[in-house]
Each structure stands twice: as structure tokens, then as C-alpha cells.
Amino acid sequence: MDYVLFTLWGYDMTYMEMTALLSGLLAVYLAVKNNVLTWPIGLLNVTLSGIIFFHIQLYADMFLQMYFFLSGLYGWYAWSKGMHETPIKVLSKSTKIRLATLVLVLTFVVGFVVSNLHEYFPSVFIKKASYAYLDTMLALLSILANTLLALRYFENWILWIVIDVISVALYFQKGVKLIALEFMVFLILAVMGHLEWQKEIKTNSNQKPLIV
């Protein structure tokens, strides 16, 4: 984290942050294009991002990267077996309600734990978590969105759009301006992904998407 590549707007961009930024952008772009390489490149991104989030006390995001690493391995395996060529699926209304309720409940439960990590493990988490509940909600939504992406559910892009909008504001508030800008690009890519998959559904209109 200490090796500075350049300084912009008074912010020191390190080699690690730049590598995380570029690999993250490339991974999302490849996901939009339905390319299996999105997963191995994403593994590099989540590893570096986990280290960065630890240093800026976004502990929920740090733990999220651990999940992303495991789901990235699964996604890489599943898509290499042809999952990315299967028809796009759509969530049913009842499933959406159940998932929304689960995320809400877990946000309060996990958020409480994250907000007190500095008391439970003071030797590891020296400072109190920043925006513990908001950070936790974003982490849970990201887990859901990443899972839906791997399984080819259309709604993953809608979740990513919501996540990216909130993340831009959060990272600007935390002073990590270039990561905030990265999420602005993620937002654009998520909109592109939404439109690309929507186009694919319309193109294959003779094969209605599976509603689960």
C-alpha cells in the first residue's frame, strides 16, 4: 500500500490500487461481454481489493472479497463448462421478495457484528468500522448480485447498478476518490450489461427466459 504510483487531486495512487482498479474494470467489461476470463481476472481484483479495504477500515467489504474469491472459483469453473452459454433466467416476484427480506434481516444482524469488530478483536481491527450497516448492506447485495451473475439471472445487473450508485457516494465520502471514479465506470458497465442481456432476451424471444 505504501508505494505511490502518482498523485491526483491530492490523493496518492499506489501500484496496488491501480492494479486493482484496472483488473476490476477489465473483469466487469468481460462479464458484460459474457467472456469466461472475467472470473480469473476478477480473482486478482478481489485479492488486492481485500487488502485495500482492510487498510481503510471497510471490514464488511474486506470479508466480501473472501466470498468473491470463492465464488470466482465457482464462476470460473461453471462458465468454463458452458454456463455462460445457457439461456438467461429471471427471478419470480415471490423469490425477489424473499431475497429482499433476507438481505434486510442480515444487514441488521451482520452489521451489528461488523460495527463491534474493533471490540471483539482489538488487536486485529484497531479502528471502528466505517459505515458498518451501509457497508454490510452493500456487501450482502454484492454477494447476491455476483451469485446471480454466475447463474445467469437477468436481475444481477439491476443490483449492480444500485450497488455502484451507492458505492460512488460512499467512497467519495471516505476520500478514496479514484476508487469512487472506478465505481462510476462500473456503473456505466453495469448499465451496458443490463442492456446487453436485455437485448439477448429479445433476440431469443422465441425462447422465453426461465422464471424461477
Task: Choose between 137 and 171: higher pLDDT.
Answer: 137
- Spell out a b/e string for 153-177, using b for 16 or more CB atoms within 10 Å of the CB, else e: bbbbbbbbbebbebbbebbeebebe
Give tens-digit pLDDT for 63-100: 878 888 998 898 889 888 887 778 889 999 999 999 99
Band the pLDDT of 123: cuts 50, 70, 90. confident
pLDDT of residue 62: 81
Percentage of the chain beyond pLDDT 90 is 33
pLDDT of residue 99: 96
Band the pLDDT of 1: cuts 50, 70, 90. low
**Per-residue cell: 121:** 478483536
pLDDT of residue 10: 66
Band the pLDDT of 2: cuts 50, 70, 90. low
pLDDT of residue 98: 96
pLDDT of residue 212: 59
**Global confidence as pTM:** 0.79
pLDDT of residue 201: 83
Burial of 99 (0-12, 13-18, 19+ CB in 10 A): middle
Band the pLDDT of 7: cuts 50, 70, 90. low
160, pLDDT greater than 60: yes
Q: Round to whole Å and give the CA distance between 45 and 43.
A: 5
Residues 9-30, mean pLDDT to the nearest whole number: 82
pLDDT of residue 103: 96
Band the pLDDT of 130: cuts 50, 70, 90. confident
